[in-house]
Amino acid sequence: MPDRSLIFPAQEYRARVAALQARMATDGIDVLLLTAPSDVFYVTGFLTRFWESPARPWFVVVPIEAAPIAVIPAIGADLMRRTWLRDIRTWDAPDPLDDGVSLLAETLRQVMPGAGCLGLPMGLETHLRMPLGDYHRLLTAIAPRRVVDATETVQRVREIKSEAEVGKIRATCRIADAAFARVPDFAHAGRPLDQVFRDFQIALLAEGADWVSYTAGGAGPGGYGDVISPADARPLQAGDILMLDTGAVKDGYFCDFDRNFSLGPPDDAARRAQAALFAATDLALERLRPGMRACDLHRMLTDALIAEGATPGGGRLGHGLGLSLTEWPSVTARDVTPLREGMVLTLEPGAEIAPGRILVHEENIVLRTGGPELLSTRAPASLPELRA
Amino acid sequence: MPDRSLIFPAQEYRARVAALQARMATDGIDVLLLTAPSDVFYVTGFLTRFWESPARPWFVVVPIEAAPIAVIPAIGADLMRRTWLRDIRTWDAPDPLDDGVSLLAETLRQVMPGAGCLGLPMGLETHLRMPLGDYHRLLTAIAPRRVVDATETVQRVREIKSEAEVGKIRATCRIADAAFARVPDFAHAGRPLDQVFRDFQIALLAEGADWVSYTAGGAGPGGYGDVISPADARPLQAGDILMLDTGAVKDGYFCDFDRNFSLGPPDDAARRAQAALFAATDLALERLRPGMRACDLHRMLTDALIAEGATPGGGRLGHGLGLSLTEWPSVTARDVTPLREGMVLTLEPGAEIAPGRILVHEENIVLRTGGPELLSTRAPASLPELRA
């Protein structure tokens, strides 16, 4: 039976660490310190929902020329032992007097004898998942070793997905495809939006999601107001556009795409917005190539929407995807990250139909040499109608 | 219809802010900076699953003598406007050149003219949810203003739940009670554990959970190995003890308790462990009083387990609960936090049956003057049997 605590063969993780270590050499980093759930999972295969508890920090130390070391709360030792890591050091957490700081400092001093440069992700889209006070204590305990930003080190490696990873994301997309196909069964006029959200999550689980880390959506006459609000109890009604968006998880990998539905026939404005979003997405699917930058994709989508007579709206127009619901880069005018072969991305153009009324269209792709390969099943060209 | 974006009347949030401000005065803090999802929700009522995306930081600034100010990504403006906050400042995030740092610094300089003391939670169980590099930029931008640890300021206020909050946690516990009652419908010999986990999440949603942020559990002959692993595909079999644990969410409030089941009749060791855990919990339900400390509760449970012939095991023996799956304090030997009236806690004694084989028992309570009031429906004294 598959040991779900590992997800991939050890070789996958070894290749990741080798890629990180090669990049560390380029960036002048001797040891990498990882604290975020997705970084820890990426290096070790340690997968748990226990991250939901903010009580304990978890550390993975990646020396430039040796295997990673886990410095973790004792409660995670059994699970970490089932991964490919062999050097696992634990303490009884949470400890108000010393919550792993001494053990981590001792480990860092050991792998950086004398001096050295510790890399820690501290740039855009990163968080230090340990108390800030303990971080300050750690700095003192490992002085005179320097700490530098390792955001590039981690992101340039993690953003290129292996075929094994692409396969996992595709599998999660398939689950969401199947759940979206069930929407007409439970969403119709008179049904409260919060019940629709529950039924959608149930459908995702029934189709094989391990868990549903994210659902969002909206519903309103001819369009919705925003895409991050929780559902209210308002019943769906004729003329509404309903959007459902999900970040379901299978084997630790996310999908992230939405689908729109019309309660009965959509009005002309919604029809036009849908046509523009569909055409803009088609254009990106046809023309996007490795070597373009995130801002080039933003420009491509924005220009296409305007050419189709739509007003761009709704936030960034896409982002990375994989071990988190969203990863870098961001499809914005300011993000100059090069888009490379093997990146998994969302294409997420949005259009403002009227003030406070938007429509957002989203697909998941992997970027190949010849252009995007869809991971989500392409949305229908016209808004599917639900019983009104 | 209820506006789910607020959850409570504005008065509830005003009272919270007044309590924080009173505590800020005691602690010598002029302005509080909050970045964590639960802190932001506590002060504003801003509830969204969008926190799942690590892409953007969100800030709430609480001056000691004025209403809170939200400094947030533009994508959240609509939802934040539906809360009681009136001063909402936004930027287009994520911005790789300046992701809200200037806007936040300007806001802080405004509310702390000249100098002052900024409080930021940086102690046990806290994280700074913004990039560390941006935090360093912020420090420079607001110099010479000082930054101090505001962990106590926030935790001593948040840990006392209002009756409105207790009502919400009780409602979530009721949902989990109802879902646990359905377990015999879908868990029996031959059923793979990962399917049981999915069905359990479906049951929680069907019973009214808005979402299921956490499920964990385990199954094994006469006990399970740990309580944080994801489920594997191993089918349940006669003699297994199955444990399911959930942090379901309704209106932003968590429950967190588990239930154990036996596949057919439990063996003597499991029966004895269950009896010891049940008796230790009963004792705490009877004897726990405000004024005791977390470590006193730890001692009480540990002594009771030993007196019952059990070997304590499985991690801390309880913790706070509410806006997060776990909150401080921790029921450990080292946590001296006073337990006060109005705290919501888990009682979570665990027993080691054999090396690598444990049983964990969990209830949710609110501490009253006269002792604990159960929020979860008390587990049965004997292990309920599932079809083997």
pLDDT in tens, B11-30: 999 999 999 999 999 999 99
Query: Which residues, 6 or more positions from B121, have their beta carbon under 8 angstroms from its beta carbon?
Result: B34, B36, B39, B149, B150, B151, B153, B154, B155
Which residues of chain A from 339 to 358 reach within 8 Å of chain B, CB to CB?
Answer: 356
Q: Which residue from A65, A83, A57, A53 is spatially nearest to A17, judged by alpha carbons?
A: A65
Q: Examine the domain organization and report whether A216 and A258 are in the same domain.
A: yes
SS3 category, B284: helix
B350 neighbors B224 (Cβ within 8 angstroms): no
Position A1 scores a pLDDT of 35
pTM here is 0.97
List beta partners, residue B385. B262
pLDDT in tens, B329-360: 999 999 999 999 999 999 999 999 999 899 99
Q: Examine the domain organization and report whether A171 and A295 are in the same domain.
A: yes
- Measured CA to CA, the distance from residue A112 to residue B302 in angstroms comes to 40
Measured between CB atoms, which of A38, A131, A328 is closest to B126?
Answer: A131
Give A120→chain B minimum CA distance, Å. Answer: 9
Per-residue pLDDT band for B4 (boundaries 50, 70, 90) equals: very low
Give how far Cα B32 sits from Cα of A296, B98, B300, Å. 40, 22, 37
Given B94, B126, B158, the domain boundary residue is B158
Antiparallel, parallel or unpaired: β A350-354 and A311-312 = antiparallel
- Where b means 16+ CB within 10 Å and e means fewer, A162-194 reads eeebbebbbebbbbbbbbbebbeeebbeebbbb
Start-to-end CA span in chain B (Å): 46
- Is B18 within a domain? yes
User: Which DSSP symbol is given to B239?
Assistant: T
Q: Examine the domain organization and report whether A83 and A224 are in the same domain.
A: no
pLDDT in tens, B261-272: 999 999 999 999
The CATH number linked to A138 is 3.40.350.10
Which residues of chain A from 236 to 275 reach within 8 Å of chain B, CB to CB?
Answer: 247
- Measured CA to CA, the distance from residue B204 to residue B383 in angstroms comes to 21
pLDDT in tens, B71-126: 999 999 999 999 999 999 999 999 999 999 999 999 999 999 988 999 999 999 99
List beta partners, residue A32. A62, A119
- Measured CA to CA, the distance from residue A117 to residue A94 in angstroms comes to 28
pLDDT in tens, A176-225: 999 999 999 999 999 999 999 999 999 999 999 999 999 999 999 999 98
Q: Examine the domain organization and report whether A154 and A79 are in the same domain.
A: yes
Q: How many CB pairs under 8 A join A and B?
A: 241
Which residues of chain A from 216 to 235 reach within 8 Å of chain B, CB to CB?
Answer: 216, 225-234
| Average pLDDT over every residue of A266-280 | 97
Whether the pLDDT of residue A313 is over 90: the answer is: no
| Average pLDDT over every residue of B276-291 | 98
B190 burial type by CB count under 10 A (0-12 exposed, 13-18 middle, 19+ buried): exposed
- Is B3 within a domain? no
Contact list, A53 vs chain B (CB under 8 Å) = 214, 324-326
Complete edge-to-edge strand list for the sheet that includes strand A31-34: A87-91, A69-73, A59-63, A31-34, A117-120, A146-149
Contact list, B214 vs chain A (CB under 8 Å) = 49-50, 52-53
Give B47→chain A minimum CA distance, Å. Answer: 7
Which residues of chain B from 25 to 64 reach within 8 Å of chain A, CB to CB?
Answer: 36, 38, 47-50, 52-55
Measured between CB atoms, which of A49, A50, A233 is closest to B1?
Answer: A233
Residue owning tokens 């990504």: B73
Whether the pLDDT of residue A226 is over 90: the answer is: no
Q: Examine the domain organization and report whether A33 and A78 are in the same domain.
A: yes
- Using only C-alpha atoms, chain B has a radius of gyration, in whole angstroms, of 23
Share of chain B above pLDDT 70, in %: 99
Does the beta-carbon distance from A234 to B1 stay under 8 Å?
Answer: yes
Q: How far is CA A16 from the centre of its chain?
A: 18
Measured between CB atoms, which of B54, B130, B336 is closest to A324?
Answer: B54
Q: Which residue from A70, A10, A86 is spatially nearest to A45, judged by alpha carbons?
A: A10
Give how far Cα A204 sits from Cα of A180, A211, A215, A259, Å. 8, 8, 10, 14
- Is B328 within a domain? yes
Does the beta-carbon distance from B75 to A227 stay under 8 Å?
Answer: yes
- Measured CA to CA, the distance from residue B71 to residue B61 in angstroms comes to 8
Per-residue pLDDT band for B5 (boundaries 50, 70, 90) equals: low
- Is A89 within a domain? yes
Give how far Cα A90 sits from Cα of A101, A103, A320, Å. 11, 8, 33
User: Which DSSP symbol is given to B257?
Assistant: E
Q: Examine the domain organization and report whether B79 and B136 are in the same domain.
A: yes
Q: Examine the domain organization and report whether B184 and B332 are in the same domain.
A: yes
Whether the pLDDT of residue B3 is over 60: the answer is: no
The CATH number linked to A376 is 3.90.230.10
pLDDT in tens, A91-144: 999 999 999 999 999 999 999 998 899 999 999 999 999 999 999 999 999 999
Counted residue by residue, chain B has a size of 388
In chain A, alpha helices (H): 10-27, 37-44, 77-81, 101-111, 132-142, 151-158, 163-181, 183-186, 193-206, 268-287, 294-307
Mutation to test the A interface, candidates B7, B80, B201, B249, most A Cβ within 10 Å: B201
| Average pLDDT over every residue of B62-70 | 98
Q: Examine the domain organization and report whether B49 and B16 are in the same domain.
A: yes
Position A44 scores a pLDDT of 97
Mean pLDDT, chain B, rounded, equals 96
pLDDT in tens, A328-363: 999 999 999 999 999 999 999 999 999 989 999 999
Position A89 scores a pLDDT of 98
Position B327 scores a pLDDT of 98
B312 neighbors B273 (Cβ within 8 angstroms): no
Position B25 scores a pLDDT of 98
Query: Which residues, 6 or more positions from B327, have their beta carbon under 8 angstroms from its beta carbon?
Result: B38, B125, B158, B159, B319, B320, B321
| Average pLDDT over every residue of A139-156 | 98
List beta partners, residue A254. A249
Q: Examine the domain organization and report whether B325 and B207 are in the same domain.
A: yes
Q: Examine the domain organization and report whether A141 and A173 are in the same domain.
A: no
B35 neighbors B154 (Cβ within 8 angstroms): no
Does the beta-carbon distance from A54 to B324 stay under 8 Å?
Answer: yes
- Is B4 within a domain? no
Position A315 scores a pLDDT of 81
Given A158, A186, A211, the domain boundary residue is A158
Q: Examine the domain organization and report whether B216 and B108 are in the same domain.
A: no
SS3 category, A311: strand
Measured between CB atoms, which of A127, A194, A336 is closest to B54?
Answer: A127
Q: Which residue from B23, B22, B21, B31 is spatially nearest to B147, judged by alpha carbons?
A: B31
Per-residue pLDDT band for A55 (boundaries 50, 70, 90) equals: very high
Query: Which residues, 6 or more positions from B355, have their beta carbon under 8 angstroms from its beta carbon?
Result: none
- Is B1 within a domain? no
Contact list, A211 vs chain B (CB under 8 Å) = 201, 212, 215
| Average pLDDT over every residue of B354-371 | 96
Number of domains in chain B: 2
Position B2 scores a pLDDT of 39
Please tell me the number of Cα atoms within 13 Å of B127 on its side-chain side: 24
| Average pLDDT over every residue of B144-172 | 98
- Is B48 within a domain? yes
Does the beta-carbon distance from A54 to B76 stay under 8 Å?
Answer: no
Q: Examine the domain organization and report whether B144 and B180 are in the same domain.
A: no
Given B111, B139, B158, the domain boundary residue is B158
Q: Which residue from A43, A68, A39, A63 is spatially nearest to A51, judged by alpha carbons?
A: A39
Q: Least CA distance to A148: which residue of chain B?
A: B133
Does the beta-carbon distance from A324 to B97 stay under 8 Å?
Answer: no
| Average pLDDT over every residue of B159-187 | 98
- Is B202 within a domain? yes
Does the beta-carbon distance from A127 to B126 stay under 8 Å?
Answer: no
Enclosing domain of residue B167: 163-386
